[in-house]
Structure 1
Amino acid sequence: MALVDFSLAFNCVKHDLLGRKLQNEFGFSTSACSLITSYLSQRSQAVHHNGHFSSHRPLTDGTPQGSCLSALLFTIYINSLPSVLRCQYHLYADDLQVYVSGPKNDLDRLITALNDDLHAIECWAITNKLFPNPAKTKAIIFCKDGVVNPQIDVRFCGETIDLSDEVTNLGLIMDSRLKWSGQVNSVTMKVYNTLRTFRRFQKVLSMQTRHKLAQAVLIPFFLYCDAVYYPGLSAAQKEQLHRCFKSVIRFVYGLRRFDSTRAVRHTLMGCDLTENYLRRVCCFMHTVYNGKAPEYIAQHVRRGNNQRARSFIIPRHTTSTRRSLLIYGASTWNSQPLTIRNQTTMSTFKAALNRA
């Protein structure tokens, strides 16, 4: 997989080219395109430093920073990029991941296919006046046993992209063997660092305020992308997260370091951390079962033939893939009572899970 980086992507949008894309690719009328062009043009920018403003300079390119339309207009601008790709991809605004999969003994062909797409991205970027950044572009090979192959040569914009053992993809830290140690360490480090700051003011914060801080700031660290990595965690990694979560509970309720949290462990999220992870995996599988998941996810699982059972067919898998999201998720879904699986809306499904 290659994680492609563009330099200052939002600032490089050409207004005239965006107007042509709106008209030719999306069917905008001439007057609508003129309105968008008027919105983008005749803008200027100044810098405020030490109480003084610099002179204003015109902005001839880019979408307005902080504007609610900025991301949408950039998405429209980059929308044609996937048409030049042959490998699979994920594209979210200016975050692009291109990936290809296959057997380990076919690695040379896979690298060639990836390089072909990277070259196509380079050509597309030149045509559309964007600037790829090979220095920040990352490449990684996911393989259970690891890959030792000095002949691997991933190239982008004339430069060799060194293979990484660990990459950050939209805030999720992924290592080449999907062991998730970097992600777990990152979560716990963020929580402990934030707790260290909060504890300086603990004596002047009421329990209600500490509870709100935990809900708004600390718990989201545990929940971000949890359904992706939690099924693959080892027992030691799960225990690491549990110890960290107990520190949050002790902060909220003013408990000492070694005080038991058993009596209040359900109060922050309505259940303990493990149960919350299981519920969120079930919610993800509810989305898959009801046909609301992307095709690249839905194609890997099949619903059972008995519609009344509302279950998944567990595909054949190895010991290592048993902990993958879809295998683990399908098994967890099938283990839920039928009264829960029968809920068709997400709100009623969550309510049924909470009552169980």
Structure 2
Amino acid sequence: IASDQGLVSILVVLDLSAAFDTVDHSILLHRLEHVIGIKGTALDWFRSYLSDRYQFFAHVHGVPSSYSRVSHGVPQGSVLGPILFTLYMLPLGNIIRQHGIHFHCYADDTQLYLSMKPEETEKLVKLQTCLKDIKSWMSSNFLLLNPGKTEVMVFGPEPLRDRLDHMITLDGISLTSSLSVRNLGVTFDQNLSFNSHIKLVSRKQFNPMTQYSGVYVALQLPLANTIRSDAGRPVAAT
């Protein structure tokens, strides 16, 4: 819609380094109590869940290293991990809103986006300031924003896209517009054709099929179709 109106849209996909591992427990518990309103027994349960966790770092010749107490981070792979991290990130939304930038957040996936005319440089300045404030907030909350892996994509007519390339920087690093960006499992391209995503899914779908190619001839057709469908369905759903 924005492209039809002669606008370009900018998507910034932020990259956080080891995001789940750097969550400060005291800040998280304070946020659960004073921002979310969790108190009493429920808060004590979260405090117990985060406390007295230990981990070892490596195996050498089958022997694990000594255990170390964990004072930061939320357990990855757990049901609560992404939820707790999302709650930890809640104040970031207020910072982004102050700059009038649209955004979506889930766990450590944060995307900023806005539409503009190429000559509306004041909106780029607003985006730059927003990125600077985001990095500052993350630093004060023990999170590390990685400028080298943060991606930018500009959508819209090609002549308009080219005018905005190299105009966005983060921490002194120029964020060059990517040809494709993978965001929450979907590969976007600048023309929103989704050709890159379709090719990726097709390739992943084809690979498991080849594993069964030698036995298809020995199977009855209904069973062969069931195997083909069951092997491909998880790939198509991702």
Against the structure 1 CA distance between its residues 125 and 199, is the aligned structure 2 distance closer, same or farther, given a 3 Å change threshold? same
The corresponding residue for 1:144 is 157
Against the structure 1 CA distance between its residues 19 and 150, is the aligned structure 2 distance closer, same or farther, given a 3 Å change threshold? closer
Counterparts of 2:196 and 2:35 in 1: how far apart (Å)?
A: 41
Counterparts of 1:65 and 1:207 in 2: how far apart (Å)?
A: 42
Deviation at 1:188, TM superposition (A): 1.5
Q: In the alignment, which of 139, 148, 157 is matched to residue 126 of structure 1?
A: 139
The corresponding residue for 1:55 is 66
After superposition, the C-alpha distances for 1:253-311 in whole angstroms (9 at most, x for unaligned) are xxxxxxxxxxxxxxxxxxxxxxxxxxxxxxxxxxxxxxxxxxxxxxxxxxxxxxxxxxx
Against the structure 1 CA distance between its residues 53 and 14, is the aligned structure 2 distance closer, same or farther, given a 3 Å change threshold? same
Counterparts of 2:211 and 2:123 in 1: how far apart (Å)?
A: 47
Matched, 1:154 2:168: yes
Counterparts of 1:53 and 1:201 in 2: how far apart (Å)?
A: 43
* Residues 259-338 of structure 1 mapped to structure 2, 5 A cutoff: none
Counterparts of 2:122 and 2:230 in 1: how far apart (Å)?
A: 47
Deviation at 1:195, TM superposition (A): 1.7
What's the secondary structure of 1:199's corresponding residue?
coil
Counterparts of 1:205 and 1:52 in 2: how far apart (Å)?
A: 47
Against the structure 1 CA distance between its residues 96 and 206, is the aligned structure 2 distance closer, same or farther, given a 3 Å change threshold? farther
Counterparts of 2:26 and 2:73 in 1: how far apart (Å)?
A: 11
Q: TM-score, normalised by structure 1?
A: 0.57
Counterparts of 2:164 and 2:90 in 1: how far apart (Å)?
A: 36
Q: TM-score, normalised by structure 2?
A: 0.83
* Residues 96-245 of structure 1 mapped to structure 2, 5 A cutoff: 96-106=110-120, 108-146=121-159, 147-149=161-163, 152-200=166-214, 202=216, 210-224=224-238
The corresponding residue for 1:43 is 53
Matched, 1:71 2:85: no
Asked if structure 2 preserves the Cα contact closer than 8 Å seen for 1:42 and 1:58, the reply is yes
Extract unaligned runs of 5+ from structure 2.
Answer: 1-10
Task: Give the structure with the higher percent strand.
Answer: 2
Q: Residue type matched to 2:106 in 1? A: Y
Against the structure 1 CA distance between its residues 18 and 192, is the aligned structure 2 distance closer, same or farther, given a 3 Å change threshold? same
Counterparts of 2:41 and 2:237 in 1: how far apart (Å)?
A: 45
Counterparts of 1:134 and 1:217 in 2: how far apart (Å)?
A: 38
Deviation at 1:104, TM superposition (A): 3.6
Q: Which moved more, 1:209-218 or 1:68-77?
A: 209-218
Extract unaligned runs of 5+ from structure 1.
Answer: 225-356
Against the structure 1 CA distance between its residues 28 and 190, is the aligned structure 2 distance closer, same or farther, given a 3 Å change threshold? same
Asked if structure 1 preserves the Cα contact closer than 8 Å seen for 2:181 and 2:188, the reply is yes
Against the structure 1 CA distance between its residues 71 and 205, is the aligned structure 2 distance closer, same or farther, given a 3 Å change threshold? farther
Counterparts of 1:94 and 1:206 in 2: how far apart (Å)?
A: 47
Counterparts of 1:72 and 1:9 in 2: how far apart (Å)?
A: 13
Q: What is the alpha-carbon root mean square deviation over aligned residues? A: 2.4
Deviation at 1:205, TM superposition (A): 6.5
Q: In the alignment, which of 23, 39, 60 is matched to residue 29 of structure 1?
A: 39
**In percent, how many aligned pairs have the same letter?**
28
Q: Which moved more, 1:214-223 or 1:198-207?
A: 198-207
Deviation at 1:197, TM superposition (A): 2.6
Deviation at 1:148, TM superposition (A): 2.0
What's the secondary structure of 1:168's corresponding residue?
strand
Q: Residue type matched to 2:116 in 1? A: G
Counterparts of 2:18 and 2:169 in 1: how far apart (Å)?
A: 21
What's the secondary structure of 2:13's corresponding residue?
strand
**Bigger RCO of structures 1 and 2 (CA < 8 A, at least 6 apart):** 2
